[in-house]
Amino acid sequence: MSIDEQIATIRDADLLAEIEKARGHFMFKTLVEHIAHKQALRDKEREAETGLAHRRAAMSRDQRRRDAVREVIENEPSAPDNIQHIHSVLALCGLPYREPKGEREFFREYGRNTLSIMAGRLKDPRTGQMEIQGLPYGPKARLLLLHLCTEAVRQRSAKVEVADSLSGFIKQMGFPVTGGDRGTLRQFKEQLNRLAACTMQIGLWDGAARSSTINVPPFRQLDIWLTGSSDQGLLWSNTVQFHTEFYDNLIQHALPVDIRAARAFAGSARKLDMLFWMGYRLRTVQRPLRLTWDNLHKQFGADNASLRSFKQAFKGDLAHIKEVFPRLRVSLDDNGMQLLPTDPSELLVAPRRAKSEKPMISAA
């Protein structure tokens, strides 16, 4: 290509200014080649951006969110600010998906680990009575536990601030921070009440001759009081205090979660459970692992009475997770799911190896 033809390919005003400035220079031809190359790179970037914009325009809102999260995770390695934590047993044995109306106990088992939750009561400052609270459930209870466990791990304290940080977290998850009877603050605080009132039993077994059962409420104290204003009603304490035994066990069994991925699935309890579960299982798989559809149905099928309807829903949920993490070595077939040993770079959160790190919880 002649020098005039190369100059003709340059269109950006700043690059044209560079051409004019270079005229008369003894290396003018070389400079033109360099500037033309810069123009070509810019054109390629613009073409990619235009193609991405057109592709995303055809997507649903949730698809666009997942695609945007995938792009961020692929191009920006996890930083400390992106990493949150949840108790590994809660990652393996999730809360109810929907409100279990009329039920006071929820039980879930995964391999050698068991989670049992009993609903409790809270003292109502309006009546002075111990009011019955329901069982915690749904995506907001999971996100709340993720947030509070994270703050406890970060602060290395069983007593954590929740007021300002909760509003910030709600925004970070993509929810508007709204008040009123149907506002997001009230919805999250209702789940906080349920979590504060309930008691959990965490059962661990080594598969041979030793087991451990931890009987604790997650939280030791939550204060609620009247504001004296009918417009505001109730106020919650600025702090929540974990039960010491739960906190100590959390520090030992904290599972890292990429908050950017959690944000993509903030509206789905099952997808959050799958994200947490795979985050744990893929870190421990040493050889190909198979799980039957019956195994998966017991683990994730709380909302699907029939195996057939569960299979359809689960396939769609896994496809959504693989939109964000396309390199995950997880596949489905007629027999169930297969997980393959995974390179650390392909994990939901790449591990940070401690000097003597080993899995804290067995999940055979």
Lowest mean pLDDT among 163-177, 187-201, 320-334: 163-177
Between 363 and 138, name the one with better pLDDT. 138
Q: Are residues 27 and 83 in the same domain?
A: no
- In the predicted model, what is the mean pLDDT of residues 72-78? 80
**pLDDT tens string 150-177:** 989 998 999 887 766 677 778 878 788 8
Q: Are residues 49 and 155 in the same domain?
A: no
Q: Are 170 and 188 in contact (CB under 8 A)?
A: yes
Predicted model pTM = 0.74
Residue 356 pLDDT: 41
pLDDT for residue 234 is more than 60: no
Q: Are residues 237 and 342 in the same domain?
A: yes
Q: Give the chain's radius of gyration (CA, Å).
A: 26
Residue 352 pLDDT: 52
- Split at pLDDT 50, 70, 90, the class of 310 is very high
- In the predicted model, what is the mean pLDDT of residues 305-309? 86
Residue 238 pLDDT: 67
**pLDDT tens string 79-138:** 788 888 998 877 777 888 999 888 899 888 777 778 889 998 888 777 888 888 999 999
DSSP state of 300: H
Residue 68 lies in a domain: no
**pLDDT tens string 28-70:** 888 888 888 888 888 888 776 766 666 666 777 778 888 888 8
Two tokens, residue 6: 């190369």
Residue 215 pLDDT: 78
- In the predicted model, what is the mean pLDDT of residues 338-350? 78
Q: Are residues 147 and 48 in the same domain?
A: no
Domain tally, the chain: 2
pLDDT for residue 285 is more than 70: yes
Q: Are residues 22 and 94 in the same domain?
A: no
Could you give the C-alpha distances from 210 to 31, 207, 284, in angstroms and in order? 74, 7, 21
Distance CA 223, CA 236 (A): 6
Q: Are residues 208 and 253 in the same domain?
A: yes
Residue 246 pLDDT: 82
pLDDT for residue 225 is more than 90: no
Q: Are residues 104 and 182 in the same domain?
A: yes
Distance CA 197, CA 207 (A): 32
Q: Are residues 109 and 7 in the same domain?
A: no
Structural domain range at position 190: 74-346
Two tokens, residue 115: 């989670």
Residue 217 lies in a domain: yes
Two tokens, residue 284: 């421990």
